[in-house]
Amino acid sequence: MSLIRRLSGLLLPIAFAGLLPFASPSALAQAPGDTAASLRTAIEGWLKGRYKVDDVRRTPMPGVWEVRLGTDLIYVDEKGQYGFVDGAMIELKTGRNLTRERTDELLSINFKDLPLNLALKQVIGTGKRVVAVFEDVNCGYCRTMRKDLLALKDVTIYTFPVAILAPDSEVKARKALCAADKVAAWNDLMVNGKVPGNGGTCDTVLAKIKELSQKLTVSATPTVFFGNGKRLQGYVPADRFEKMLEENSRS
């Protein structure tokens, strides 16, 4: 059961018993002029004129105000510094998504703790920048990202094959890992769809990689870890990935 549901189960009976001062509709009257005007200015400034604020009202929570944009609602503090948008806390002046930053922090790892001996290693150029990639051969975005990765300069790619998307994901992965040149076979499989012709009966590290992915809560592909431990889940265009790689490779 989620925390929100647990809290709802605790608070609602108290509210119905008259012990919790839930606000009446009259308490949701429009905010005083000065506060409404300042909040309106702050929000419209954050939105850079793309949308107009239709209404500003108090909420039952002290210091929190409701801002209506058409039929959409966001909630802000009374100074107009922070807002909740689709469940995320935004610093309005800078546009920073504080919730996402905190989530990124929680999902980060210590890159040095990765068992890199389980991965397929490929060095391009100097290899000074590093990434670890979890990918499934049946993942279309993984195949697109693989092409982008191979076009990078000065990078070391550690690939952790996972088999989570289809029944034959493991079959194909095993064949690549049983090839004489595992890295070349994996690249050919991902980029060109060429499945190696061996029986795929050798011992592989797929079971250990599966355990690792579960430990790291890698539940979707592609998932990338940069050298500083930051996680990227999903595909981003090549130019954006290059910027992220550079930013997250700085010591």
Cis peptide before 25 (omega within 30 of 0): no
Answer for the pair 176, 161: CB distance below 8 angstroms, yes or no: yes
Q: What are phi and psi of 46, to 5 degrees?
A: -65, -40
**Is 0.85 surpassed by the pTM of this model?**
no
Query: Along the 251 residues of the chain, how does pLDDT read in single tens digits?
Result: 332 232 233 223 323 233 323 333 333 344 456 888 888 888 888 888 788 899 999 999 999 999 999 989 989 998 888 888 888 998 888 888 998 888 888 888 999 999 999 999 999 999 999 999 999 999 999 999 999 999 999 999 999 999 999 989 999 999 999 999 999 999 999 999 999 999 999 999 999 999 999 999 998 999 999 999 999 999 999 999 999 999 999 86
Q: In this predicted structure, what is the pLDDT of residue 129? A: 97
What is the per-residue pLDDT for 28? Answer: 37
Residue 45 CA to residue 42 CA, distance in Å, equals: 5
- What is the set of domains in the chain, with CATH numbers? 3-96 (no CATH), 111-247 (3.40.30.10)
Backbone angles phi, psi at 231, to 5 degrees: -105, 140
Residue 251 pLDDT: 65
A 10 A CB-CB count for 5 gives: 9
Show the CA angle centred on residue 236, arms to residues 184 and 225, nearest 5°: 65
Instruction: State residue 186's pLDDT score.
Output: 98
